[in-house]
Amino acid sequence: MEKVASDIRVRYSEIMPVARAYCCYLAPISYGDAVVIATWIAEVKKVQLTFRYQLVRQSDGVPFAEGFTAHGCIDASGRPMRVPHGISLLGG
């Protein structure tokens, strides 16, 4: 799944600007703590998709943050376009 997320980011970043971002901090974390980040496509609409995130402290498995980013899909001229087919097949 990491490879898929990386490919999406590289291939579609110029046509998927962030429209909204949200983060909820659940627990403290210290500088130098190792973290595990889970990312998945939570929702796919006609011209928008939402990625959800969970960040976990690796040492004890405690989630310390969660959130989402909502992305609009636009073409090169800035007009809304459908979510690319390859992405819509992955999503929620």
pLDDT of 84 strictly over 90? no
- What residues contact 13, with CB distance under 8 A and at least 6 apart? none
- The residue with greater pLDDT, 8 or 78, is 78
- What mean pLDDT comes out for the span 17-38? 96
pLDDT of 82 strictly over 90? no
Sign of CA dihedral 73, 37, 53, 86: positive
Report how far residue 48's alpha carbon sits from residue 74's, in angstroms, rounded to the nearest whole number. Answer: 9
Domain residues of the chain, as ranges? 2-88
Query: If you classify domain 2-88 with CATH, what class do you get?
Result: alpha beta
Cα-based distances in Å from 79 to 10, 48, 51, 64 = 20, 13, 21, 37
